[in-house]
Amino acid sequence: MAVVARRSIVVFRTKVCFVVTVLAMMCALILISTAAPRAAAQGCAQCYQSAAASGAAGRAALRHGILILLVPAISLFVAILFFLYRRRDSAGNAPVSRLP
Amino acid sequence: MLASTIAESVGRSAGANGSAGGYLGPGGGASPNGATPQRAYITGMFLALGGILMFFSALVSAWVVRRGLPNTDWQPIPLPHILWLNTLLLAASGVTLAYSRRCLRTGREADHRYWWGLTTILGMGFLAGQLLAWRQMLSTGLFLATSPGASFFYVFTAAHALHLLGGIAALFALAVRPPRRLTPDTATRVVALYWHFLTALWLLLVAVFLLAG
Protein backbone atom coordinates (compact mmCIF):
# COMPACT_ATOMS: atom_id res chain seq x y z
CA MET A 1 0.00 0.00 0.00
CA ALA A 2 2.77 2.36 1.02
CA VAL A 3 4.76 1.45 -2.08
CA VAL A 4 1.84 2.24 -4.34
CA ALA A 5 1.31 5.55 -2.57
CA ARG A 6 4.98 6.44 -2.92
CA ARG A 7 4.95 5.63 -6.62
CA SER A 8 1.88 7.78 -7.09
CA ILE A 9 3.61 10.66 -5.34
CA VAL A 10 6.69 10.35 -7.56
CA VAL A 11 4.58 10.18 -10.70
CA PHE A 12 2.60 13.18 -9.54
CA ARG A 13 5.76 15.17 -8.80
CA THR A 14 7.20 14.35 -12.22
CA LYS A 15 4.06 15.49 -13.97
CA VAL A 16 3.89 18.68 -11.90
CA CYS A 17 7.52 19.47 -12.73
CA PHE A 18 6.87 18.99 -16.43
CA VAL A 19 3.72 21.10 -16.41
CA VAL A 20 5.48 23.88 -14.48
CA THR A 21 8.37 23.81 -16.97
CA VAL A 22 6.03 24.01 -19.94
CA LEU A 23 4.05 26.82 -18.32
CA ALA A 24 7.24 28.74 -17.59
CA MET A 25 8.34 28.39 -21.20
CA MET A 26 4.96 29.53 -22.45
CA CYS A 27 5.09 32.57 -20.16
CA ALA A 28 8.55 33.38 -21.48
CA LEU A 29 7.32 33.06 -25.06
CA ILE A 30 4.35 35.34 -24.37
CA LEU A 31 6.62 37.92 -22.74
CA ILE A 32 9.00 37.82 -25.70
CA SER A 33 6.17 38.12 -28.22
CA THR A 34 4.63 41.08 -26.40
CA ALA A 35 7.99 42.81 -26.34
CA ALA A 36 8.54 42.25 -30.07
CA PRO A 37 6.72 45.38 -31.37
CA ARG A 38 8.91 47.58 -29.16
CA ALA A 39 12.00 45.74 -30.31
CA ALA A 40 11.04 46.33 -33.94
CA ALA A 41 11.51 50.06 -33.47
CA GLN A 42 15.11 49.45 -32.51
CA GLY A 43 15.98 47.79 -35.82
CA CYS A 44 18.73 48.93 -38.12
CA ALA A 45 17.46 51.97 -40.00
CA GLN A 46 19.37 51.10 -43.13
CA CYS A 47 17.98 47.55 -43.19
CA TYR A 48 14.48 48.86 -42.54
CA GLN A 49 14.65 51.38 -45.37
CA SER A 50 16.21 48.85 -47.70
CA ALA A 51 13.44 46.34 -46.98
CA ALA A 52 10.75 48.97 -47.35
CA ALA A 53 12.16 50.13 -50.67
CA SER A 54 12.34 46.62 -52.11
CA GLY A 55 8.64 46.58 -52.88
CA ALA A 56 6.01 43.95 -52.25
CA ALA A 57 7.98 41.20 -53.99
CA GLY A 58 11.10 41.95 -51.99
CA ARG A 59 9.19 41.96 -48.71
CA ALA A 60 7.59 38.63 -49.64
CA ALA A 61 11.02 37.20 -50.38
CA LEU A 62 12.27 38.39 -47.00
CA ARG A 63 9.28 36.84 -45.26
CA HIS A 64 9.90 33.53 -47.03
CA GLY A 65 13.57 33.68 -46.11
CA ILE A 66 12.72 34.28 -42.46
CA LEU A 67 10.25 31.39 -42.50
CA ILE A 68 12.85 29.06 -44.01
CA LEU A 69 15.18 29.94 -41.17
CA LEU A 70 12.45 29.70 -38.57
CA VAL A 71 11.01 26.28 -39.39
CA PRO A 72 14.16 24.17 -38.85
CA ALA A 73 15.12 26.16 -35.77
CA ILE A 74 11.72 25.63 -34.17
CA SER A 75 11.75 21.97 -35.21
CA LEU A 76 15.13 21.47 -33.56
CA PHE A 77 13.93 23.24 -30.41
CA VAL A 78 10.81 21.07 -30.19
CA ALA A 79 12.79 17.91 -30.93
CA ILE A 80 15.32 18.67 -28.17
CA LEU A 81 12.49 19.37 -25.71
CA PHE A 82 10.83 16.13 -26.71
CA PHE A 83 13.98 14.07 -26.15
CA LEU A 84 14.63 15.85 -22.86
CA TYR A 85 11.16 14.91 -21.70
CA ARG A 86 11.52 11.31 -22.85
CA ARG A 87 14.82 10.86 -21.03
CA ARG A 88 14.03 12.96 -18.00
CA ASP A 89 14.72 10.05 -15.64
CA SER A 90 17.85 8.70 -17.29
CA ALA A 91 20.32 10.76 -15.25
CA GLY A 92 20.13 10.76 -11.52
CA ASN A 93 16.46 10.14 -10.86
CA ALA A 94 15.54 6.53 -10.32
CA PRO A 95 12.78 5.21 -12.55
CA VAL A 96 9.46 4.71 -10.87
CA SER A 97 9.52 0.99 -11.62
CA ARG A 98 12.72 0.55 -9.55
CA LEU A 99 11.35 2.12 -6.42
CA PRO A 100 10.95 -0.23 -3.47
CA MET B 1 37.93 -4.25 -57.38
CA LEU B 2 37.98 -1.36 -54.95
CA ALA B 3 35.08 -2.86 -53.05
CA SER B 4 37.01 -6.06 -52.51
CA THR B 5 40.09 -4.08 -51.46
CA ILE B 6 38.09 -2.20 -48.86
CA ALA B 7 36.47 -5.45 -47.79
CA GLU B 8 39.89 -7.01 -47.34
CA SER B 9 41.09 -4.07 -45.30
CA VAL B 10 38.01 -4.40 -43.10
CA GLY B 11 38.85 -8.03 -42.65
CA ARG B 12 42.45 -7.21 -41.72
CA SER B 13 41.35 -4.63 -39.19
CA ALA B 14 38.91 -7.13 -37.74
CA GLY B 15 41.71 -9.60 -37.36
CA ALA B 16 43.90 -6.96 -35.76
CA ASN B 17 41.13 -6.26 -33.32
CA GLY B 18 41.80 -9.62 -31.81
CA SER B 19 38.25 -10.62 -31.16
CA ALA B 20 37.17 -14.16 -31.90
CA GLY B 21 34.09 -12.95 -33.66
CA GLY B 22 36.01 -10.74 -36.10
CA TYR B 23 34.73 -7.28 -36.87
CA LEU B 24 31.38 -8.02 -35.38
CA GLY B 25 32.90 -9.00 -32.09
CA PRO B 26 31.60 -11.72 -29.86
CA GLY B 27 28.24 -10.08 -29.46
CA GLY B 28 27.55 -9.82 -33.18
CA GLY B 29 27.27 -6.03 -33.13
CA ALA B 30 25.97 -5.60 -29.60
CA SER B 31 27.82 -3.69 -26.93
CA PRO B 32 30.72 -5.75 -25.50
CA ASN B 33 29.55 -5.44 -21.92
CA GLY B 34 25.92 -6.00 -22.77
CA ALA B 35 25.00 -2.43 -22.03
CA THR B 36 22.52 -0.36 -23.94
CA PRO B 37 23.64 1.29 -27.22
CA GLN B 38 26.05 4.15 -26.76
CA ARG B 39 23.56 6.93 -26.88
CA ALA B 40 26.07 9.71 -26.34
CA TYR B 41 27.55 9.25 -29.81
CA ILE B 42 24.14 9.10 -31.40
CA THR B 43 23.09 12.25 -29.57
CA GLY B 44 26.30 13.98 -30.60
CA MET B 45 25.65 13.10 -34.22
CA PHE B 46 22.10 14.42 -33.98
CA LEU B 47 23.45 17.71 -32.61
CA ALA B 48 25.95 17.91 -35.46
CA LEU B 49 23.18 17.23 -37.96
CA GLY B 50 21.18 20.05 -36.38
CA GLY B 51 24.09 22.41 -36.97
CA ILE B 52 24.48 21.27 -40.58
CA LEU B 53 20.74 21.64 -41.11
CA MET B 54 20.86 25.22 -39.87
CA PHE B 55 23.86 25.96 -42.09
CA PHE B 56 22.07 24.80 -45.22
CA SER B 57 18.84 26.48 -44.08
CA ALA B 58 20.74 29.75 -43.93
CA LEU B 59 22.06 29.16 -47.45
CA VAL B 60 18.59 28.32 -48.81
CA SER B 61 17.14 31.32 -47.01
CA ALA B 62 19.74 33.61 -48.59
CA TRP B 63 19.05 32.00 -51.96
CA VAL B 64 15.28 32.59 -51.63
CA VAL B 65 15.73 36.23 -50.60
CA ARG B 66 18.29 36.95 -53.32
CA ARG B 67 16.12 35.30 -55.95
CA GLY B 68 12.97 37.12 -54.81
CA LEU B 69 14.39 40.62 -54.77
CA PRO B 70 13.00 42.62 -57.70
CA ASN B 71 15.11 44.34 -60.35
CA THR B 72 18.15 42.15 -59.85
CA ASP B 73 20.40 40.32 -62.23
CA TRP B 74 19.02 36.92 -61.27
CA GLN B 75 18.98 34.41 -64.12
CA PRO B 76 17.80 30.81 -63.84
CA ILE B 77 20.58 28.33 -64.61
CA PRO B 78 20.20 25.09 -66.57
CA LEU B 79 21.09 22.14 -64.36
CA PRO B 80 23.76 19.78 -65.79
CA HIS B 81 22.28 16.48 -66.91
CA ILE B 82 24.84 14.48 -65.01
CA LEU B 83 23.22 15.71 -61.81
CA TRP B 84 20.53 13.05 -62.30
CA LEU B 85 23.10 10.29 -62.45
CA ASN B 86 24.79 11.70 -59.36
CA THR B 87 21.49 11.76 -57.52
CA LEU B 88 20.90 8.16 -58.50
CA LEU B 89 24.36 7.19 -57.25
CA LEU B 90 23.82 8.86 -53.89
CA ALA B 91 20.38 7.33 -53.45
CA ALA B 92 21.83 3.92 -54.31
CA SER B 93 24.61 4.45 -51.76
CA GLY B 94 21.97 5.07 -49.10
CA VAL B 95 20.33 1.76 -49.98
CA THR B 96 23.61 -0.16 -49.94
CA LEU B 97 24.56 1.39 -46.60
CA ALA B 98 21.25 0.39 -45.07
CA TYR B 99 21.71 -3.13 -46.39
CA SER B 100 25.25 -3.22 -45.05
CA ARG B 101 24.02 -2.37 -41.57
CA ARG B 102 21.36 -5.01 -41.89
CA CYS B 103 24.03 -7.57 -42.72
CA LEU B 104 25.98 -6.44 -39.66
CA ARG B 105 22.98 -6.91 -37.42
CA THR B 106 22.25 -10.36 -38.78
CA GLY B 107 25.84 -11.47 -38.40
CA ARG B 108 26.78 -11.72 -42.10
CA GLU B 109 30.18 -10.14 -41.78
CA ALA B 110 31.43 -10.71 -45.34
CA ASP B 111 28.26 -9.24 -46.85
CA HIS B 112 28.51 -6.29 -44.49
CA ARG B 113 32.07 -5.57 -45.65
CA TYR B 114 31.14 -5.90 -49.31
CA TRP B 115 28.15 -3.53 -49.16
CA TRP B 116 30.07 -1.12 -46.96
CA GLY B 117 32.82 -0.93 -49.60
CA LEU B 118 30.25 -0.52 -52.35
CA THR B 119 28.73 2.40 -50.45
CA THR B 120 32.15 4.05 -50.31
CA ILE B 121 32.63 3.59 -54.04
CA LEU B 122 29.18 5.00 -54.82
CA GLY B 123 29.95 8.01 -52.63
CA MET B 124 33.20 8.61 -54.45
CA GLY B 125 31.33 8.22 -57.74
CA PHE B 126 28.94 10.91 -56.63
CA LEU B 127 31.82 13.27 -55.87
CA ALA B 128 33.43 12.54 -59.24
CA GLY B 129 30.07 13.22 -60.88
CA GLN B 130 29.83 16.54 -59.08
CA LEU B 131 33.22 17.49 -60.49
CA LEU B 132 31.98 16.58 -63.96
CA ALA B 133 28.86 18.68 -63.36
CA TRP B 134 31.09 21.62 -62.51
CA ARG B 135 33.05 21.03 -65.72
CA GLN B 136 29.82 21.00 -67.70
CA MET B 137 28.78 24.27 -66.06
CA LEU B 138 32.14 25.84 -66.84
CA SER B 139 32.04 24.66 -70.43
CA THR B 140 28.71 26.42 -70.92
CA GLY B 141 30.20 29.66 -69.63
CA LEU B 142 28.61 29.60 -66.19
CA PHE B 143 31.37 30.60 -63.78
CA LEU B 144 31.23 31.40 -60.10
CA ALA B 145 30.75 35.10 -60.71
CA THR B 146 28.62 34.84 -63.85
CA SER B 147 25.30 35.27 -62.07
CA PRO B 148 23.93 34.98 -58.54
CA GLY B 149 22.16 31.75 -59.47
CA ALA B 150 25.40 30.17 -60.67
CA SER B 151 27.20 31.37 -57.54
CA PHE B 152 24.59 29.77 -55.31
CA PHE B 153 24.76 26.55 -57.32
CA TYR B 154 28.53 26.33 -56.84
CA VAL B 155 28.27 27.17 -53.14
CA PHE B 156 25.52 24.64 -52.52
CA THR B 157 27.23 21.82 -54.36
CA ALA B 158 30.65 22.60 -52.86
CA ALA B 159 29.31 22.74 -49.31
CA HIS B 160 27.44 19.50 -49.78
CA ALA B 161 30.44 17.82 -51.41
CA LEU B 162 32.70 18.86 -48.53
CA HIS B 163 30.29 17.38 -46.02
CA LEU B 164 30.03 14.22 -48.09
CA LEU B 165 33.81 14.02 -48.19
CA GLY B 166 33.69 13.80 -44.42
CA GLY B 167 31.24 10.94 -44.72
CA ILE B 168 33.53 9.11 -47.13
CA ALA B 169 36.43 9.64 -44.74
CA ALA B 170 34.33 8.10 -41.97
CA LEU B 171 33.42 5.15 -44.20
CA PHE B 172 37.10 4.62 -44.98
CA ALA B 173 38.16 5.04 -41.38
CA LEU B 174 35.68 2.43 -40.20
CA ALA B 175 36.77 0.10 -42.96
CA VAL B 176 40.47 0.45 -42.18
CA ARG B 177 40.46 0.64 -38.40
CA PRO B 178 37.58 -0.14 -36.02
CA PRO B 179 36.97 2.59 -33.43
CA ARG B 180 38.19 2.00 -29.91
CA ARG B 181 35.33 3.39 -27.88
CA LEU B 182 32.39 2.77 -30.16
CA THR B 183 30.91 -0.63 -30.76
CA PRO B 184 30.58 -1.61 -34.43
CA ASP B 185 26.83 -1.19 -34.20
CA THR B 186 27.09 2.34 -32.80
CA ALA B 187 29.85 3.35 -35.21
CA THR B 188 27.99 2.17 -38.29
CA ARG B 189 24.79 3.72 -36.99
CA VAL B 190 26.45 7.11 -36.51
CA VAL B 191 27.93 7.00 -40.01
CA ALA B 192 24.62 5.83 -41.48
CA LEU B 193 22.78 8.68 -39.78
CA TYR B 194 25.20 11.18 -41.29
CA TRP B 195 25.09 9.59 -44.72
CA HIS B 196 21.30 9.32 -44.92
CA PHE B 197 21.00 12.90 -43.75
CA LEU B 198 23.32 14.08 -46.52
CA THR B 199 21.38 12.01 -49.06
CA ALA B 200 18.08 13.55 -47.97
CA LEU B 201 19.70 16.98 -47.97
CA TRP B 202 20.90 16.52 -51.54
CA LEU B 203 17.45 15.41 -52.69
CA LEU B 204 16.04 18.52 -51.03
CA LEU B 205 18.60 20.76 -52.72
CA VAL B 206 17.87 19.24 -56.13
CA ALA B 207 14.15 19.71 -55.54
CA VAL B 208 14.74 23.35 -54.62
CA PHE B 209 16.81 23.90 -57.76
CA LEU B 210 14.20 22.19 -59.91
CA LEU B 211 11.11 23.85 -58.48
CA ALA B 212 12.45 27.36 -58.14
CA GLY B 213 15.76 27.40 -59.96
Classify burial at B196, counting beta carbons within 10 Å of its beta carbon; exposed 0-12, middle 13-18, buried 19 or more: middle
User: Which residues in chain A are closer than 8 Å to B60, comparing Cβ atoms?
Assistant: 68
Compare CB distances from A62 to B53, B54, B65 and report the shortest one's residue. B65
Q: How confident is residue B213, by pLDDT bands cut at 50, 70 and 90?
A: low
Domain count, chain A: 2
- What is the reported pTM? 0.75
User: Which residues in chain B are closer than 8 Å to A59, comparing Cβ atoms?
Assistant: none
Cβ of A72 within 8 Å of Cβ of B70? The answer is no
The model's pLDDT over B1-15, given as tens digits with 9 standing for 90+, comes to: 444 444 444 444 443
Flag whether pLDDT at B83 surpasses 80: yes
Highest mean pLDDT among A21-35, A48-62, B108-122: B108-122
CA distances to A29, B93, B186 from A35, in Å: 10, 49, 45
Average pLDDT over residues A77-90: 83
The model's pLDDT over A46-65, given as tens digits with 9 standing for 90+, comes to: 888 888 888 888 889 999 99
Which residue segment(s) compose the domain that A50 sits in?
44-89
User: Which residues in chain B are closer than 8 Å to A66, comparing Cβ atoms?
Assistant: 61
B44/chain A closest Cα distance in angstroms: 12
Superfamily classification of domain B2-7+38-68+82-212: Cytochrome c oxidase, subunit III, four-helix bundle (1.20.120.80)
Cβ of B65 within 8 Å of Cβ of A72? The answer is no
Give domain status of residue A96, yes or no: no
CA B78, CA B72: separation in Å to the nearest integer?
18
Residue in chain A closest to B65 (alpha carbons) equals A61
pLDDT of residue A48: 80
Average pLDDT over residues B25-30: 40
Flag whether pLDDT at B22 surpasses 80: no
